[in-house]
Structure 1
Amino acid sequence: MLGLIISLIVIGLIAGALARLLVPGRQDMSIVATIVLGIVGSFIGGFLGYLLFHKDGDEGFFQPSGIIGSIIGAIIALLIWQAVGNRRSAVR
């Protein structure tokens, strides 16, 4: 269990940092927010991988993915976060 938590944090940091590098614009995020972005991206990537390829059907559709799926999921999560943030700032 401890190994899973540590690997989620490390993969989350790598995926979140790479997503922030690949998405243009400035993101005001702390290191903890970057890790959370990567972890959320990992679950988004796992969900998308399950939907597209129907792999790991025994574990269900809510599962962590590998590093590439995590990066893709983190990019999607970051783009959604920016869209919601831009809409929120336009309302004020």
Structure 2
Amino acid sequence: MELTLTGIIVALIVGLVVGALGRLVVPGKQHMPLWLTLVVGVVAALLGTVLARALGVATTAGFDWIEFFFQVALAAIGVALVAGTGSRRRLTR
């Protein structure tokens, strides 16, 4: 797989969207910078794709809704973990 500038830009955009949707799914306010949302989103998008391929649901006609669900769910889990870790760290200072 060749990494192109276009591929990297698309991955960043998808990661930002997935990370933002993950933040929307998690209740309450998360105190996370935009760059951390992007990182969580990109990691969740990659892991969601791997999970969908492992389960055999990544190749469907049209938009891959199941894969997208996995990505957003993993982003929500990642946001909850990162936001929870950050709030605990602030309380102990």
* Same fold per superposition (TM over 0.5): yes
Q: TM-score of the superposition, structure 2-length normalised?
A: 0.67
Identity over aligned pairs, percent: 34
User: Do structure 1's residue 21 and structure 2's residue 30 form an aligned pair?
Assistant: no
User: Do structure 1's residue 33 and structure 2's residue 36 form an aligned pair?
Assistant: yes
Structure 2 runs not aligned, ≥5 long: 60-66
SS at match of 2:81: helix
What root-mean-square deviation, in Å, do the aligned CA atoms of Structure 1 and Structure 2 show?
2.6
Give runs of ≥4 in structure 1 deviating > 3 Å. 66-69, 82-92
Q: 1:40-82 deviations in whole A, cap 9, x for unaligned?
A: 11122122213322758xxxxxxxxx64432122112223334
Q: 1:14-58 deviations in whole A, cap 9, x for unaligned?
A: 1111110111122111111111111011122122213322758xx
Aligned length: 83
Structure 1 runs not aligned, ≥5 long: 57-65
